[in-house]
Amino acid sequence: MEKEKLLQDLEYDLLTNFIKLRKEKKLTQQELANLSGVVREKIAKIENGLNSPQINSLIKILEPIGYTIKIMPINEGDDNNG
C-alpha cells in the first residue's frame, strides 16, 4: 500500500506542477494543444487525472512551455532505488 500511495503522490505532484506551468505561461488548454499537436481533450483528461499520458504525449505537451521529463531518484541523494 505504501508504494501505491507514493505513486499517487508522484502523479499528483506531476499534474499540479504541469497545470501550474501551463497557467504561468498564460496558455489555455486549446493554445497548448495547438502548440504541441496534442488534442485539447487529451490535455484536459491528463489535467483532470482521467488519463495517464503516454511518454511521447507528455514530452510533446511540455516542450512548448520549455520543459521536458527526466529520470531522477525518488529520494534526493538516493541513486539506488532498486
Residue 34 within a domain: yes
CATH number of the structural domain spanning residue 49: 1.10.260.40
Total of domains in the chain:
1
Residue 40 within a domain: yes
Domain that holds residue 41: 2-65
Q: Is the dihedral of CA 27, 32, 35, 40 positive or negative?
A: negative
Residue 45 within a domain: yes
The per-residue pLDDT for range 20-29, each reduced to its tens digit, is: 999 999 999 9
Residue 52 within a domain: yes
pLDDT-derived band at 51, boundaries 50, 70, 90 = confident
Q: Under DSSP, is residue 20 helix (H, G, I), strand (E, B) or coil?
A: helix
pLDDT of residue 78: 47
